[in-house]
Amino acid sequence: MEKILNVPNHIAIIMDGNGRWAKNQNKPRVFGHKAGANTLRKIMEYCNKIGVTYLTVYAFSTENWKRSQEEVDALMFLFKSYIKSERENLLKNKIRFMVSGREEGVNLSLMEAIKELEEATSKDYEMTLNIAFNYGGRAEITDAVNKILKDGRTSITEEEFSKYLYNDIPDPDFVIRTSGEFRISNFLLWQIAYSEIYITDKYWPDFDEIEMEKAILSYSKRERRFGGRLDVK
Ligand code: FPP
């Protein structure tokens, strides 16, 4: 493998393909989500090891409530179990746990578990794991506008607007989507204005450290211009 020259400060991932991965093995979709949770653990630890500062993952969208009750219940249960089982690992690896999304609609005991782990991991950390949960980019922008109106603002700058979003963290440098779909699916609409995008055919449960290294290598070769031109100073 070539050496990674440039590690993104903030990586955001659309973890897609759990359902198809399970179907290929004649297993229920939930089996794919469980495997997806294991992949998340591996990728989080890898990102921490190579010096990524923020890792955001799309775990449940505002549209995912439309899935079958069985799948929604399983995803809620999985997230709650994850919060319990990952606690020690997050503290040991100095990873801050953070959730971005609408609180409305989320079960109260799950919300309490989220808040408790956010608080417990907020003191001493090197990397932040930001889980987009009950998250939609349009919902986030609408919620921000409503907070701004409540504050009685009559005008606002882009920098000020960013502070009204769910969490005040830097924009992603790099967005990865697994399972070969060329869509953004309402993910971080405001924040990805200048992010580099990478799409791989691998289903999320099959994504691993080697695939991640390939993705970051691709990122590290790109020239980011943020709308400007490198030849004009
Ligand atoms: C998309 O695959 C994946 C999701 C909607 C859920 C992502 C959840 C996990 C990776 C589980 C672990 C997460 C936590 C935080 C415990 P899909 O179901 O849309 O797959 P498909 O497109 O192949 O049907």
Pocket test for ligand 1, best of 21, 24, 33, 61 (most atoms within 8 A of CB): 33
Over range 5-29, report the average pLDDT. Answer: 96
Rounded CA separation 87/121 (Å): 9
Q: Which residue in 216, 219, 169, 204 sits closest to 190, CA to CA?
A: 169
Q: Which residues are catalytic?
A: 16, 64
Q: Ligand 1, closest atom to CA 22? A: 23
Phi, psi of 135 (to 5 degrees): -110, 140
What rounded mean pLDDT belongs to the chain?
Answer: 95
Query: 98, 125 in Cβ contact below 8 A?
Result: no
CA of 5 to the centre of ligand 1 (A): 30
CA of 49 to the centre of ligand 1 (A): 24
Phi, psi of 60 (to 5 degrees): -160, 120
Determine the pLDDT at residue 3: 63
Query: Over the stretch 147-199, which tens digit does the pLDDT of each residue have?
Result: 999 999 999 999 999 999 999 999 999 999 999 999 999 999 999 999 999 99
Determine the pLDDT at residue 190: 98
What's the whole-model pTM score?
A: 0.95
37 lines ligand 1 (CB under 6 A): yes
With a cut of 70, say whether residue 230 has pLDDT above it: no
Over range 72-93, report the average pLDDT. Answer: 98
Pocket test for ligand 1, best of 14, 15, 18 (most atoms within 8 A of CB): 18
48 lines ligand 1 (CB under 6 A): no
In order of their start, the domains of the chain are: 10-136+172-220 (3.40.1180.10)
Sheet with 10-14, side-by-side order of all strands: 95-100, 127-135, 54-61, 10-14, 174-177, 196-199
Q: What is the DSSP letter of 142?
A: H
CA of 124 to the centre of ligand 1 (A): 29
- Nearest protein Cα to ligand 1, atom 12: 37
- Token pair recorded at residue 85: 């089982």
